[in-house]
Structure 1
Amino acid sequence: MQIKPIKTEQDYQQALKRLEEIFDAKTDTKDGDELEILGILIENYEEEHFPIDSPDPIAAIEFRMDQMGMDQQDLTRIIGSKSRTSDLLNRKRPLSIRQIRLLHKELHIPADVLLKVY
């Protein structure tokens, strides 16, 4: 395949097909170099045409709680109030700066995700 920019869906599909053909190419070979360049071109096209938005803060909190095996009571221990925890999870009240700091520290959720408006 001749290396060229990926500008259309057809170009993208052709690049994916070629990538699949040379996927196991060894490093420092002609196919290995092509594989590396195609990977970069495909990644750039996908970032532009198929962007992935970060989750809303509540979804991120719920996901992280699930990963850590936590329930609402565990979250209440971090936030400090059962009613605020309930309001937060039901999206009735926005996160405060204090809560963002606590959740960032305890659940290791990036602050920029917690600051996003929902």
Structure 2
Amino acid sequence: MQRQIENTQQYNSSLERVYGLMQMDLLPGSQEWDELETLSILVKEYENIHYPIPKPQLGKIKENLLRP
């Protein structure tokens, strides 16, 4: 099992595998369940680095909400 996703090819392969595992009826504690959990964590870590979601700008949100 890989320890981290290092490039786009590994990321895409991991996403495909996660999708495939999610289509299965997995039993908690099974090897596939553990693989899904591990890959999900690795994908999230990769996305946090390469596709970060900017923090909301509360001032702009308030402006938009208070606009008549």
What's the TM-score once normalised by structure 2's chain length? 0.80
- CA offsets per residue over residues 20-65 of structure 1, 9 Å max, x none? 1111422111100000000100000000001111122333222xx3
Residue of structure 1 in register with 2:53 after alignment = 52
- CA offsets per residue over residues 59-109 of structure 1, 9 Å max, x none? 3222xx3xxxxx546xxxxxxxxxxxxxxxxxxxxxxxxxxxxxxxxxxxx
Which amino acid counterpart does residue 14 of structure 2 have in structure 1? Answer: A
Q: Residues of 2 paired with 1:40 and 1:51: CA distance? A: 15
Structure ranking higher on relative contact order (CA contacts 8 Å, 6+ apart): 2
Residue of structure 2 in register with 1:40 after alignment = 41
Q: Residues of 2 paired with 1:72 and 1:11: CA distance? A: 45
Identity %: 28
After superposing on structure 2, the runs of 4+ consecutive aligned residues of structure 1 that deviate more than 3 Å are none
Show structure 2 runs of 5+ residues with no match.
Answer: none
Q: Residues of 1 paired with 2:59 and 2:7: CA distance? A: 36
Q: CA RMSD in A?
A: 1.7
Task: Report the number of matched residues.
Answer: 64
Show structure 1 runs of 5+ residues with no match.
Answer: 66-70, 74-118
Residue of structure 2 in register with 1:12 after alignment = 11
